[in-house]
């Protein structure tokens, strides 16, 4: 598996439970995906919060994402250098130990928010976010390929979409719970202060430490290899992986920069003119769309024919997920003294219907579905740029539905056929999360100069490349892959 562990034909998973099934491991890993989804989306709450507390402009506020996602790049770069010089670290330490290290670093980083708030230093917040990103880097490098090998390579995209679905469940409820804690419950006399994040992030730290204990005592399947660990940057010999790195760069950059600006975008008078404690409710629909799409992707990309039963289950799942999102949003919105009616959110059901049709058009093919979804997001961004009011409002929210399968599909397309270089390839793909660090400040700079709405041309560029990768890029060097396996 990577760093040069073994070819795909000699990969083995040992199950300490003796059951021969990986259900328990997938449940534990799904919990991890949920946790880092929740905390990653909390950055979207922190940006308007810190912008107000420290009187920042858009560029300065976007340094939240720069610090957090820069850690992914630096952490993955260090991992890659070690992999090249000494062999893949995960292959030596094991997936479980890698996950435990990531959880401990993440817990300590969350605890650092308390002194950051106590001293009221913006740079301290950025430092805590950087180390939180380092912890998540380890979790990403260990957990994503682990999920992909817990079963056949043909169904890896389906399993990753399922795990990513729970990751999106975390991003869906984070604006509701996190927004309530920061903007309301821990606000002082209705005013948000630096103290508003102290207790929430101490709670998050405790959750990470508790999860580490649970995983420590839980028996998980172990990856074993029949071949000697190799050195070298063998993964870079695969053109489709290199192009996949760019795809991850633009996907994460596009998704993060949109999510980071939505609360401020919803506050614009020509869009909806919402207050922050109202806007965070609709942020949950953006991230909730990703959750719905990923659950649908887990069903659609499973290796069974698309028939009435399969499509019917997708419809039922999407409606149930919508009900969960609406219920959470309704409860949160009621805290503002207003009522969120069904008719107000009914346009989201139309977006879900389009999403279901797009899955049908994708025909359970990862590359085709990726290209179609990227094309739809380009159209939605054009509406976001060129219109106003409810049309622009729901168009930008709908992008979340079509972001849904992108990470999983890009990831599985990019590491397909890498054999013994899979974990090394995984570290390179995680390194490409650097897009989340660089693209939001770029859009922030344009927002300061030409206006927030006009700055949405930046993510359009991201999705143009993703459409290219889904159509052509994933096939690059395909005939040469067996040479390097």
What would the pLDDT profile of 334-368 be if each residue is shown by its tens digit? 877 888 999 999 999 999 999 999 999 998 788 99
Whether 485 is covered by a domain: the verdict is: no
Question: Does residue 299 lie within any of the structural domains?
Answer: yes
Q: Give the pLDDT band of residue 305 (cuts 50, 70, 90).
A: low
User: Which is higher by pLDDT, 394 or 302?
Assistant: 394
Rounded CA-CA distance 364/305 in Å is 8
- The upper half-sphere exposure of residue 78, i.e. CA atoms within 13 Å in the direction of its Cβ, equals 8
Cβ atoms of 370 and 405 within 8 Å: the answer is: yes
Please give the average per-residue pLDDT across 11-16, as a whole number.
47
> In the predicted model, what is the mean pLDDT of residues 84-98?
77
- What are the structure tokens assigned to 42, written together? 């909390």
The neighbour count for residue 268, using CB atoms within 10 Å, is 16
Whether 74 is in a domain gets the answer yes
Instruction: Report pLDDT digits (tens) over 139-187.
Output: 887 777 777 677 666 666 667 777 877 887 888 888 788 877 776 777 7
Using 50, 70 and 90 to split pLDDT, how confident is the model at 11? Answer: very low
Query: Residue 297 contacts by C-beta under 8 Å, 6 or more apart in sequence?
Result: 157, 158, 161, 164, 165, 359, 369, 404, 405, 408, 409
The pLDDT value given to residue 154: 66
Torsion of CA 417, 421, 427, 430, to 10 degrees: -10
Residues 6+ apart with CB under 8 A from 333: 278, 281, 339, 340
131, 71 contact by CB (below 8 A): yes
- Which of 272, 282, 300 has the alpha carbon at shortest distance from 392? 272
Phi-psi region of 419 (alpha: psi -120 to 50; beta: other; left: phi over 0): left
Say if 333 falls within a structural domain: yes
Residue 297: predicted pLDDT:
82
Best-predicted range by mean pLDDT among 66-70, 136-140, 396-400, 435-439? 396-400
Alpha-carbon gap, residue 348 to 354, rounded angstroms: 10
* 304 in any annotated domain: yes
d(CA 242, CA 73): 15
pLDDT at 462 over 90: yes
pLDDT at position 241: 93
Quote the pLDDT of residue 396. Answer: 96
Query: Could you tell me if residue 347 is inside a domain?
Result: yes
**Nearest-angstrom CA–CA distance, 292 and 161:** 10
State the average pLDDT over residues 123-151: 85
Identify the band that residue 3 occupies on the pLDDT scale cut at 50, 70 and 90.
Answer: very low
If one compares 351 and 428, the residue with the highest pLDDT of the two is 351
- Neighbouring residues of 320: CB distance < 8 A, sequence distance ≥ 6: none
Distance CA 341, CA 154 (A): 43
Alpha helices, DSSP H only, in 451-480?
Answer: 457-471
Number of domains within the chain: 1
The rounded Cα 28 to chain-centroid distance in angstroms is: 18
Top mean-pLDDT range of 55-69, 234-248, 324-338, 448-462 = 448-462
Which domain does 347 fall in, by range?
8-480
Query: Is 2 part of a structural domain of the chain?
Result: no
DSSP per-residue letters across 392-455: HHHHHHHHHHHHTTHHHHHHHHHHTT-GGGHHHHHHHHHHGGGHHHHHHHHHHHHHHHH-TTGG
Burial of residue 364 (number of CB atoms within 10 Å: 0-12, 13-18, 19+): buried
Please give the pLDDT value at position 479: 57
Residue 396 covered by a domain: yes
Specify the CATH number for the domain of residue 237. Answer: 1.20.1250.20
**pLDDT tens profile 199-227:** 888 989 999 999 899 888 877 776 654 44
The pLDDT score that the predictor gives to residue 226 is: 44
Determine phi and psi for 188, rounding to 5 degrees.
-105, 115
- 114-128, 183-197, 224-238: segment of lowest average pLDDT: 224-238
Q: What is the pLDDT of residue 6?
A: 28
Closest by CA position to 482, among listed 438, 435, 416 = 416
pLDDT band at 377; cut points 50, 70, 90? very high
Average pLDDT over residues 17-29: 63
Candidates 399, 367, 384; CA nearest to 463 is: 399
Residue 244 burial (CB < 10 Å; 0-12/13-18/19+)?
A: buried
């Amino acid at each position: 598996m990577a760093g040069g562990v073994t070819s795909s034909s000699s990969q083995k998973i040992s199950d300490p439970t003796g059951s021969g099934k990986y259900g328990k491991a997938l449940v534990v890993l799904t919990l991890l995906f949920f946790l880092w989804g929740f905390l990653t989306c909390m950055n979207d709450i922190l940006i308007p919060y810190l912008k107000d507390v420290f009187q920042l402009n858009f560029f300065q506020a976007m340094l939240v994402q720069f610090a957090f996602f820069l850690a992914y790049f630096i952490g993955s770069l260090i991992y890659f250098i070690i992999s090249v010089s000494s062999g893949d670290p995960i292959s030596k330490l094991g997936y479980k130990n890698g996950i435990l290290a990531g959880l401990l670093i993440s817990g300590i980083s969350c605890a650092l928010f308390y002194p950051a708030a106590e001293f009221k230093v913006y740079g301290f917040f950025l430092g805590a976010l950087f180390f939180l990103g380092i912890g998540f880097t380890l979790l990403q490098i260990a957990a994503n390929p682990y999920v992909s090998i817990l079963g056949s390579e043909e169904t890896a995209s389906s399993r990753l979409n399922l795990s990513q679905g729970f990751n999106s469940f975390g991003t869906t409820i984070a604006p509701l719970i996190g927004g309530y804690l920061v903007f309301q419950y821990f606000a002082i006399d209705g005013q948000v202060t630096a103290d508003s994040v102290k207790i929430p992030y101490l709670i998050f730290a405790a959750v990470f430490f508790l999860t580490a204990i649970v995983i420590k005592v839980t028996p998980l399947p172990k990856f074993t290899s029949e071949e000697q660990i190799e050195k070298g940057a063998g993964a870079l010999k695969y053109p489709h992986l290199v192009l996949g790195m760019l795809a991850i760069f633009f996907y994460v950059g596009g998704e993060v920069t949109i999510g980071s600006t939505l609360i401020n975008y919803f506050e614009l008078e020509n869009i909806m003119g919402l207050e922050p404690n109202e806007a965070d409710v609709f942020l949950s629909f953006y991230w909730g769309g990703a959750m719905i799409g990923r659950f649908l992707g887990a069903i659609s990309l499973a290796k069974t024919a698309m028939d009435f039963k399969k499509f019917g289950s997708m419809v039922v799942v999407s409606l149930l997920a919508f009900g969960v999102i609406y219920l959470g949003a309704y409860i949160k919105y009621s805290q503002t003294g207003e009522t969120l009616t069904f008719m107000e959110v009914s346009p989201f059901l139309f977006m879900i219907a389009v999403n279901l049709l797009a899955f049908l058009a994708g025909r359970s093919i990862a590359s085709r579905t990726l290209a179609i979804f990227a094309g739809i997001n380009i159209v939605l961004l054009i509406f976001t740029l060129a219109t106003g009011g409810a049309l622009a409002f729901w168009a930008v929210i709908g992008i979340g539905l079509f972001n849904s399968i992108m990470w999983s599909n890009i990831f599985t397309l990019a590491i397909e056929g890498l054999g013994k270089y899979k974990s090394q390839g995984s570290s390179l793909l995680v390194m490409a999360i650097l897009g989340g660090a660089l693209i939001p400040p770029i859009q922030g700079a344009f927002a300061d100069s030409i206006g927030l709405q006009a700055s949405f041309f930046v993510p359009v560029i991201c999705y143009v490349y993703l459409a290219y990768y889904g159509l052509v890029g994933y096939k690059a060097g395909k005939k040469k892959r067996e040479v390097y396996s």
